[in-house]
Amino acid sequence: MKTKTIQILVISGLLLASLFVLTSFDHNKPTEQPINKKPNIIYILADDLGIGDLSIYNENSKIQTPHLDLMAKEGMRFTDAHTSSAVCTPTRYGILTGRYNWRTPLKEFVTWGNSPSLIQKDRLTVAQMLKDKGYKTANIGKWHLGLNWTMKNNSPEFDHFSDKSDRLNFKEIDYSQPLKFGPNDMGFDYSFMISASLNMPPFVYIENDKATMVPTGISSQTKKQSPYATWIRGDIADDFKHEDVLPNIVNKSISFIKENANKDQPFFMYIPLPSPHNPVLPIAPWKGQSEIKSPYADFVIMIDDLMGTIFETLKAQGIDENTMVIFASDNGFATTNDLKTLRQKKHSPSYVYSGYKGSYLEGGHRVPFLVKWPEKIKPNSVSDATICTTDFMATCADIIGYDFKDNEAEDSFSMMPLLTNEGTYLRDATIHHDKYGVFAIRKGDWKLIVSPNSGIMASGETKKHKGVSAEEILYNLKKDVKEKNNVAEQFPEKVKELKDILIQQIKNGRSTPGKVQENDAISGEWPQANFAFKD
């Protein structure tokens, strides 16, 4: 009797199990899947990487970048992508706000590690927008947009950057206290960063709103190791070693991916790398491994390999298909990174373009721009559309269904029509800006530089571009990609057309459709834009 009872229980269990299997795999009933799950979004921004430094862009490159090349083959490569400025800080502002940098009080050059925040407290960022729509957000890398540090002994504090370029006194910064205003106040749930470029003090890690360690020393690096591995004398913490910064940022990024993969909540990561900006610091096993035996080439190979580890992590976590990854650079190649040796080795970091970091010429702001999103983007796609890094915010808004207010993302156009080949990309013209604040505008094949000698240096002296006397320079990039022939006199109607668009977009406070906005107030003059306010 006992045996029969056991047999009946076993048979009953098998029948129930069979019924469960049948109902679980009923082909007439779809398997439960998340409906319209929003993609994870990762924006990786290299620092001073030239378009010709990636072998996918440069058929004659002496630096091989297989991981980034593969990313391009698995997604979309843009051939005509531009940063909103030819230097670091302004481009970062445009990416996070969808607004041209020169609308702020920063009319030229960059902020410093002790500059107040360039992003004002009432300005919507892409991180805040995504966070409000349910994203977990992270900033991991080089910030370089100013921070509002807590000061000692009631020392002067500034709640935002101004045209007076007020810098905080390093000696009066209280590193033991939380920031008054930083990334966590701009929509980032998590932040791990250095305050500015790797050659700018203070040399401390800031996790969320506080330094991981109070600096107790002063770091000074001379040219004894390499003229391309130097930094400014300044405060340094015991847990900070310049060679370790890039690996630490990548490791933190990988940890964040692993912790947040496959959760109901999608994530957004902004990963601004500190490299290959000076100091050029390749470490083993990459040091000395490049074909041309250049520390800069080694550093680029190191970046490529580390990017490969991030891509592999996404695949290992099973989230590669529905993650949009963007890889770009913040401006062109910096000539301070041993241009002489690269030229001798026949490597061109600006590829076929003239100019380098800081320039209004193409090499200053035309950058590598790769986008991979297997669920949406066909592999081996190439786009020749002229895009700008300010377009990231509108692209994210398109993905999540957010409608901008009139005072949000005033210079951002969604790239989704280009990525999916559905709809129309609405950017008609793109404004460029060099390190001295000189304006250029691009529309179609035509590019106009206006008042090239209007830029001023920090000393207040007018910056004169050597050999340039024309007030207006017009290039046809289709016929003259190296920008050697000024055809402004031959095409006065094209000069007028482009200049009128530039003036209108400066005055309107926006380049997108919408209500006219004010550019940020300044107390001084704006000589680089005098041509727009003559009347």
Omega of the bond prior to 276 within 30 degrees of 0, cis? Answer: yes
Which domains, and CATH codes, for the chain?
40-427 (3.40.720.10), 439-532 (3.30.1120)
Pairing relation of β-strands 472-476 and 446-450?
antiparallel
pLDDT in tens, 343-380: 999 999 999 999 999 999 999 999 999 999 999 999 99
Q: Which of 303, 295, 301, 302 is nearest to 279 (CA)?
A: 295
Q: What is the model's pLDDT at position 535? A: 66
Q: Which of 471, 479, 474, 512 is nearest to 494 (CA)?
A: 474
Kindly report the pTM of this predicted structure: 0.92
Where the chain has pLDDT below 50, the residues are 1-35
Residues 6+ apart with CB under 8 A from 246: 273, 274, 275, 281, 302, 303, 306
Q: What is the model's pLDDT at position 225? A: 62
Fill in the amino acid letter for 241.
K
Backbone angles phi, psi at 267, to 5 degrees: -125, 155
Q: Please state the length of the chain.
A: 535
CB 200 within 8 A of CB 231: yes
Q: What is the model's pLDDT at position 409? A: 98
Q: What is the DSSP string of 313-365?
A: HHHHTT-STTEEEEEEESSS--TTTTHHHHHHTT--TTTT----TT-SSHHHH
